[in-house]
Structure 1
Amino acid sequence: MGCECSKLSGCCWSSENDVSVPEERNEENEEKGETDDMPAFREYGIDTLRMATSGFSVENIVSEHGEKAPNVVYKGKLENQRKIAVKRFNRSAWPDSRQFLEEAKAVGQLRNNRLANLLGCCCEGDERLLVAEFMPNDTLAKHLFHWETQPMKWAMRLRVALHLAQALEYCTSKGRALYHDLNAYRIVFDDEGNPRLSCFGLMKNSRDGKSYSTNLAFTPPEYLRTGRVTPESVIYSFGTLLLDLLSGKHIPPSHALDLIRDRNIQMLTDSCLEGQFSNDDGTELVRLASRCLQYEPRERPNPKSLVAALIPLQKDTEVPSHELMGIQDGNAAIPLSPLGEACLRTDLTAIHEILEKLGYKDDEGAATELSFQMWTNQMQETLNSKKKGDGAFRHKDFKAASEFYTQFIDVGTMVSPTVHARRSLCYLMNDMPTEALSDALQAQAIHPIWHIAAYLQAAALFALGRESEAQAALKDGTDLESKRNANA
Structure 2
Amino acid sequence: MFHVAALKFGRSRRKLLISFPFFQALDMIRGRNALLLMDSSLEGQFENEDATKLVDLASKCLQNEAKDRPDTKFLLSSVAPLQKQKEVASHVLMGLPKNTVILPTLLSPLGKACSRMDLEAVHEILLKTGYRDDEGKENELSFQEWTQPVQEMLNIKKLGDVAFRDKDFKNAIECYSELVVMMTTVPSATVFARRSFSYLMTEQVELALRDAMQAQACIPEWPTAFYMQALALSKLGMETDANDMLNDGAAFDAKRQQQQSSWRC
State the TM-score, normalized to the length of structure 1: 0.37
Q: Distance in 2 between matches of 1:190 and 1:418?
A: 25
In structure 2, the partner of 1:411 is 182
The one-character-per-residue Cα deviations of 1:110-139 (angstroms, maximum 9, x if unpaired) are xxxxxxxxx8869xxxxxxx865334556x
In structure 1, the partner of 2:106 is 335
Cα 1:79–1:441 change in 2 (3 A) is farther
8 A contact 1:191–1:329 mirrored in 2: no
User: Displacement of 1:78 after TM fit?
Assistant: 1.9
Superposition CA RMSD, Å: 3.7
Q: Are residues 1:88 and 2:40 paired? A: yes
In structure 1, the partner of 2:5 is 51
Letter of the structure 2 residue corresponding to residue 51 of structure 1: A
Identity percentage of aligned residues: 42
In structure 1, the partner of 2:87 is 133
Q: Distance in 2 between matches of 1:190 and 1:50?
A: 20
In structure 1, the partner of 2:224 is 452
Q: Distance in 1 between matches of 2:175 and 2:221?
A: 26
> SS of the residue aligned with 2:132?
coil
In structure 1, the partner of 2:157 is 386
2:120 is aligned, of 341, 346, 349, to 349
> SS of the residue aligned with 2:106?
coil
8 A contact 1:120–1:131 mirrored in 2: no
> SS of the residue aligned with 2:141?
helix
The one-character-per-residue Cα deviations of 1:51-72 (angstroms, maximum 9, x if unpaired) are 23xxxxxxxxxxxxxxxxxxxx
In structure 2, the partner of 1:441 is 213
Q: Are residues 1:402 and 2:173 paired? A: yes
Letter of the structure 2 residue corresponding to residue 443 of structure 1: A
Cα 1:372–1:480 change in 2 (3 A) is same
> SS of the residue aligned with 2:5?
helix
8 A contact 1:440–1:456 mirrored in 2: yes
1:421 is aligned, of 168, 175, 193, to 193
Q: Are residues 1:486 and 2:258 paired? A: yes
Q: Distance in 2 between matches of 1:51 and 1:467?
A: 23
Cα 1:461–1:136 change in 2 (3 A) is closer
Q: Distance in 1 between matches of 2:241 and 2:180?
A: 27
State the TM-score, normalized to the length of structure 2: 0.66
Cα 1:192–1:471 change in 2 (3 A) is same
Q: Distance in 2 between matches of 1:485 and 1:350?
A: 22
* Structure 1 residues not aligned, in runs of 5+: 1-48, 53-76, 102-118, 123-129, 139-187, 194-326
User: Displacement of 1:368 after TM fit?
Assistant: 4.1
8 A contact 1:120–1:132 mirrored in 2: no
8 A contact 2:8–2:16 mirrored in 1: no
In structure 1, the partner of 2:239 is 467
Higher relative contact order (Cα pairs below 8 Å, separated by 6+ residues): 2
